[in-house]
């Protein structure tokens, strides 16, 4: 496989905001072991049925409408990385991640290393929680 041309550490967790993150029985077993609970308990606590599929539960998020239950909303990272589901292990299945490329382009255009396209925090006039533009000034860059 070609070397990845993206850096998940620079992303706010876009893939973790996918509405349907499907889990298999093997994924449930891995999550159960990770949390020291039985498979039935893991199924009940961490998943739900949606359109006939078993998917991870979500919770509200300030950047995206919601994210995976296991996503740390402060540091923007997976809290079960070693036990994450197969679909998460495989993503993005290529050397490139389209969202990362869009994010990198938009941040460069905005002159704002914290800019997240479509996020309420990136709306005109929104406070960015202490984010700084590349020139060191607080908040968003002026429109170009």
The SS3 call for residue 54 is strand
What count of other Cβ atoms lies within 10 Å of the Cβ of residue 3?
A: 5
| 78 occurs within a structural domain | yes
The answer to whether 78 and 21 are in contact (CB under 8 A) is no
Residue 52 belongs to some domain of the structure: yes
Rounded CA-CA distance 71/59 in Å is: 9
Structural domain span for residue 42: 12-90
Q: How far apart are CA 109 and CA 96, in angstroms?
A: 20
Number of structural domains the chain divides into: 1
Residue 54 lies in a domain: yes
Q: What is the pLDDT of residue 120?
A: 57
pLDDT tens string 105-138: 888 888 888 787 766 555 554 443 434 334 444 4
Q: Does residue 44 form part of some domain?
A: yes
Q: HSE on the CB side for 86, CA within 13 Å?
A: 8
Omega before 68 cis (within 30°)? no
Look at the pTM and tell me if it is higher than 0.85.
Answer: no
């Amino acid at each position: 496989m070609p070397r990845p041309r993206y850096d998940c550490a620079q992303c706010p967790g876009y893939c973790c905001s996918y509405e349907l993150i499907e889990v298999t029985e093997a994924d449930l077993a891995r999550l159960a072991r990770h949390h020291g609970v039985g498979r039935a308990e893991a199924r009940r606590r961490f998943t739900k049925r949606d359109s006939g599929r078993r998917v991870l539960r979500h919770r509200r998020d300030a950047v995206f409408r919601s994210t995976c239950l296991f996503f740390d909303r402060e540091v923007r990272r997976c809290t079960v990385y070693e036990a994450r589901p197969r679909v998460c292990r495989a993503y993005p299945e290529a050397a490139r991640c389209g969202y990362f490329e869009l994010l990198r382009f938009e941040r460069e255009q905005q002159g704002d290393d914290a800019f997240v396209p479509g996020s309420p925090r990136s709306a005109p006039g929104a406070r960015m929680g202490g984010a700084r533009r590349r020139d060191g000034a607080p908040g968003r860059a002026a429109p170009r």
